[in-house]
Amino acid sequence: MSTLGKITRRTFLGLGAAAAGGLAVGYYFYQTPHANPLEDNASAGDAIFNPYVFVSAAGAITIITPRAEMGQGVQTTLAALVAEELEVTLDQIAVDHGPASSAYYNEAVMVDGGPFASFDQSLLANTARETMAVASKFIGIQVTGGSSATIDAFDKMRRAGAAARMVLIQAAAQTWNIPAENVSAQHGHLINKTTGERLPYGDVAELAAKLPPPEDVILKKPEDWKLLGKPQKRVEIVEKVTGAPIFGIDVELPEMRHATVRMSPHFGVGARTHDATAALEVPGVEKVIPLQTQYGSGFAVIATNTWAAFQGAEALDVVWQDATYPTNNDAMTPLFDRALEEDASFTLGSTGEPDEVWRNTPPNRQLEVTYEVPYVAHATMEPMNATAQWRENELHIWSPNQAPTIIQGVCAGHFDMKTDQIKVHTTYMGGGFGRRMEADFSLFAAIIGQHTNGRPVKVTWTREEDTRHDMYRPRAKARYRGTLSDDGHLTALDVAVAVPPLIKNTLARTFPGLPVAGPDKLLLEGAYDQPLTVPDRRYAAHVVDLPIPIGFWRSVGNSYNGFFHESFLDEAAHKAGKDPLHFRLDLMNDNEHAPAKRVLLKVAEMADWGAPMPEGKGKGLAHTLSFGTWVAQVVQVDTSQQQVRIEKVWCAADPGLVLDPANFKAQLISGAIFGLSQALGQEITFTDGAVDQGNLYDFDAMRMHQSPTFEVALLETSPRMGGAGEPGTPPAPAALANAIFAATGKRLRTMPLSKHIDFT
């Protein structure tokens, strides 16, 4: 095994994600490119330039954007990366998600998988990033998540566009028999600079695609960009305002059957007894079949239409086995309390002697508080669904999903097939937020598809199934201790977070049998990796073993650590008698913290921070660095009426580089509303082992009448490129709680905040 292979394997283990046997194959394999998946799926006459660009015989240009469009605008921005270099506009091309393939592996999502702050430029942190980049290629996971898509694609996809442009120019030069320097590419045409003659790309595409790809690809300078850095119209916007059938739930195939599932409400167990007589009597119901998977056990009802399947599932008479875990919320609470009393499972980013500082600080300058968040569901607008059909030895799955190669892996494992026998057709999705990283709904459809005599079957979950069988954002409880100097600076910070283990829980169902090692940084992200110059500090995870399925929920660990950390800094500032803005700025003294200071000062200016407020109104501030993007928010509330109204949110963000300002702002607003929605009442609780909530009447999200107005500013000073989809979420709940404190003097430390105060 090569040295790099060894390092990769060892470091990857040490970094705590998963150990994959495939990592030991060495450097040669790393240097070998993944096969181009378009070659297998080509139509006659297609000119295939690389995995991202092909031109049909008729001259139509298609750009493959292999990240899932779930609302974040990724297909438009990724297409623009290619189009910019290819010298075409977005209305000249078609965009397609493309097939599931390791060629579309996501490097950026793994590069920052190590336990380092995104601004950490130490040798260790950078070595880890390089190692993870190598590992990502070995593992070859095509995934949309971690706000990583544009970062991952920024070079790759511009290079793909430029390489295609260069061979097109060369082919035109050959056709005209002139030097390549005399040919330029503009707006989908090749131009003979001497004669002014023009050829559409399609005319030379076949020849061009056969030429060897250029060794040195020259990318345009940012000042020459025509598309990047400017707002683009979404490539799919007309479909989305005309009701086009683009979502997974809209899939319609000849002879298709409809189905739904009714899974055990108790996780990890199945039915004790069941009687399908009444279900089978529902007109339109054809079959009831059992399901048994690592995602849960239960039944599927196959019918001629969705409504019949829903009625059949309801009519199914089942007695479920008892849950094997603490069956209600109150019984779970002691697990979190006890975990905090026990030794930490691991610590990250710790330095100095916070205990000693605590002991040596007088009680009046000590602050100890606890915070809590509940389990929460993703509640995507489009409930989980997928369509499957078995054709000979191939399994076809039409799935609104964020991780097609994971679907292949999970189904290959279940059916003992090769991954290339599983064809995943990724549709548009009605929201993802991390829920659609999971393969459960696709696997269920594939299993049900074995019972429809070769006919396709679309499996649609009810909202109740969707709510009660999520992979939830975990419940968490944190104890924060801090000490203040006599002049009001934070001198020590001691953070302990009790939370179930995200990576372990996820891998157990996604890659069963794969060992897990090392610290799970997701448990502490949003705390240990924040810009803070405090000499003595500790960030400790206290892992709570609870078998409730948990997973990736927009911003993951940042979603709760952002609330804890930024609430605590606000509390500490008030205890120190300092303004929360200046208290924070005083704690950000490293050069690497500069973007944090800039977004804080910017948002303070926008919100007129510090100006006197009318009685009953208040502003709260929070800042979280997540997914490489620095986000400061000020929330203003009006508490003068009976119910609290969230009036306005100001937001300043620095992702280093903005590829589409309109879309980036929309994502920050979307992220903030997602975060604020938690505060308004989102909570998943348990009774007798089952989730209490079932539908939007007991698990809702922010509505129009509750939505604040927004003002957003974007800075581009950060040295590394950051993501868009998630960073707006983490600071919002803390900024809201801090605003409520400013307005009322009431400190709310437990989510949802609506348990303690009424909102409009």
Partner 1 sequence: MKLTVNGTEHEVDADPNMPLLWLLRDLLNIKGPKFGCGVGACGACTVLIDGYPVRSCSYFAGDVDAPITTIEGLAGKDALHPVQDAWIRHGVPQCGYCQAGQILAAVALLQDTPNPTDDDIDAAMTNLCRCGTYPMIRAAIKDVANSDGGGL
CA angle 744, 750, 751 (to 5 degrees): 100
Which of 430/689 has CB closer to partner 1? 430
Bridge partners for 648 per DSSP: 636, 709
- Report the alpha-carbon distance of residue 102 to residue 573 in Å, rounded: 49
- Report the alpha-carbon distance of residue 66 to residue 143 in Å, rounded: 9
| Closest distance to partner 1 from the beta carbon of 652 (Å) | 17
Contact call for residue 663 and partner 1 (CB under 8 A): yes
Binding residue for partner 1, selected from 81, 162, 168, 379, defined by CB under 8 A: 379
- Report the alpha-carbon distance of residue 560 to residue 557 in Å, rounded: 6
Which of 313/484 has CB closer to partner 1? 313
Binders in 671-690 for partner 1, by CB under 8 A: 671-674, 677
366: which residues sit within 8 A by CB, 6+ positions away?
358, 481, 482, 483, 484
Which of 26/661 has CB closer to partner 1? 661
Half-sphere exposure of 508 (CA within 13 A, CB side): 15
Contact call for residue 233 and partner 1 (CB under 8 A): yes
Binders in 317-376 for partner 1, by CB under 8 A: none
Binders in 461-500 for partner 1, by CB under 8 A: 462-463
Contact call for residue 241 and partner 1 (CB under 8 A): yes
Binding residue for partner 1, selected from 20, 153, 569, 702, defined by CB under 8 A: 702
Contact call for residue 252 and partner 1 (CB under 8 A): yes
- Report the alpha-carbon distance of residue 113 to residue 350 in Å, rounded: 18
Which of 314/579 has CB closer to partner 1? 314
Dihedral of alpha carbons 91, 97, 99, 102, sign: positive
Contact call for residue 283 and partner 1 (CB under 8 A): yes
Considering only 69-77, 170-178, 413-421, 736-744, which stretch makes contact with partner 1 by CB under 8 A?
A: 69-77
Which of 231/535 has CB closer to partner 1? 231
Which of 249/424 has CB closer to partner 1? 249
Contact call for residue 230 and partner 1 (CB under 8 A): no
CA angle 241, 246, 252 (to 5 degrees): 130
Which of 234/266 has CB closer to partner 1? 234
Binding residue for partner 1, selected from 1, 94, 381, 517, defined by CB under 8 A: 381
Between 423 and 462, how does the x/- string for binding to partner 1 read (CB under 8 A)?
A: -----xxxxxx--------------------------x-x
Binding residue for partner 1, selected from 670, 678, 682, 738, defined by CB under 8 A: 670
Cis peptide before 752 (omega within 30 of 0): yes
| Closest distance to partner 1 from the beta carbon of 306 (Å) | 5
Joined tokens for residue 52 = 């991202």
Torsion of CA 218, 132, 730, 666, to 10 degrees: 20
Which of 359/703 has CB closer to partner 1? 703
- Report the alpha-carbon distance of residue 73 to residue 497 in Å, rounded: 34
Residue 67 · residue 75 · CB < 8 Å: yes
Site size toward partner 1, by CB under 8 A: 64
Contact call for residue 380 and partner 1 (CB under 8 A): yes
Which of 527/652 has CB closer to partner 1? 652
Reduced to 3 states (helix: H, G, I; strand: E, B; else coil), residue 411 is helix
In 3D space, the residue among 661, 584, 601, 668 whose CA is nearest the CA of residue 629 turns out to be 668
Kind of pairing between the strands at 536-543 and 490-499: parallel
Which of 408/663 has CB closer to partner 1? 663
Considering only 40-48, 86-94, 215-223, 699-707, which stretch makes contact with partner 1 by CB under 8 A?
A: 699-707
Contact call for residue 700 and partner 1 (CB under 8 A): yes
Which of 37/73 has CB closer to partner 1? 73
Which of 54/428 has CB closer to partner 1? 428
Considering only 212-220, 350-358, 529-537, 664-672, which stretch makes contact with partner 1 by CB under 8 A?
A: 664-672
Which of 81/702 has CB closer to partner 1? 702
Torsion of CA 400, 402, 405, 406, to 10 degrees: -100
| Closest distance to partner 1 from the beta carbon of 83 (Å) | 18
Q: What is the DSSP letter of 678?
A: H
Considering only 10-18, 22-30, 52-60, 68-76, which stretch makes contact with partner 1 by CB under 8 A?
A: 68-76
Considering only 168-176, 378-386, 446-454, 570-578, which stretch makes contact with partner 1 by CB under 8 A?
A: 378-386
Which class for 641: exposed (0-12), middle (13-18), buried (19 or more C-beta within 10 A)? exposed
Q: What is the DSSP letter of 501?
A: -
Which of 157/669 has CB closer to partner 1? 669
Binders in 305-324 for partner 1, by CB under 8 A: 305-307, 310
- Report the alpha-carbon distance of residue 40 to residue 471 in Å, rounded: 35
Residue 289 · residue 299 · CB < 8 Å: yes
- Report the alpha-carbon distance of residue 144 to residue 69 in Å, rounded: 9
| Closest distance to partner 1 from the beta carbon of 704 (Å) | 4
Contact call for residue 94 and partner 1 (CB under 8 A): no
- Report the alpha-carbon distance of residue 505 to residue 508 in Å, rounded: 5
Binding residue for partner 1, selected from 91, 487, 697, 745, defined by CB under 8 A: 697
Residue 735 · residue 609 · CB < 8 Å: no
Which class for 210: exposed (0-12), middle (13-18), buried (19 or more C-beta within 10 A)? exposed
Binders in 571-610 for partner 1, by CB under 8 A: none
CA-atom Rg of the chain in angstroms = 27
φ, ψ dihedrals at 680, nearest 5°? -80, 5
Which of 455/575 has CB closer to partner 1? 455
Which of 452/491 has CB closer to partner 1? 452
Contact call for residue 707 and partner 1 (CB under 8 A): yes
Contact call for residue 71 and partner 1 (CB under 8 A): yes
Considering only 87-95, 247-255, 419-427, 651-659, which stretch makes contact with partner 1 by CB under 8 A?
A: 247-255
Cα 176 versus chain centre, distance: 48
CA distances 173 to 45, 84, 514, Å, are 21, 21, 53
Q: What is the 3-state secondary structure (H, E, C) of 417-444?
A: CCHHHEEEEECECCCCCCHHHCCHHHHH
| Closest distance to partner 1 from the beta carbon of 759 (Å) | 14
Contact call for residue 727 and partner 1 (CB under 8 A): no
Binding residue for partner 1, selected from 51, 66, 73, 526, defined by CB under 8 A: 73
- Report the alpha-carbon distance of residue 423 to residue 398 in Å, rounded: 8
Binding residue for partner 1, selected from 20, 63, 70, 588, defined by CB under 8 A: 70
Which class for 359: exposed (0-12), middle (13-18), buried (19 or more C-beta within 10 A)? exposed
Bridge partners for 636 per DSSP: 619, 648
Binding residue for partner 1, selected from 96, 120, 197, 239, defined by CB under 8 A: 239
| Closest distance to partner 1 from the beta carbon of 378 (Å) | 9
Which of 249/348 has CB closer to partner 1? 249
Residue 460 · residue 440 · CB < 8 Å: no
| Closest distance to partner 1 from the beta carbon of 760 (Å) | 9
| Closest distance to partner 1 from the beta carbon of 723 (Å) | 16
Binding residue for partner 1, selected from 46, 112, 152, 250, defined by CB under 8 A: 250
Which residues form the interface with partner 1 (CB under 8 A)? 69-73, 231, 233-234, 236-243, 245-247, 249-250, 252, 258, 283, 305-307, 310, 379-383, 428-433, 460, 462-463, 662-663, 666, 669-674, 677, 695-697, 700-705, 707, 709-710
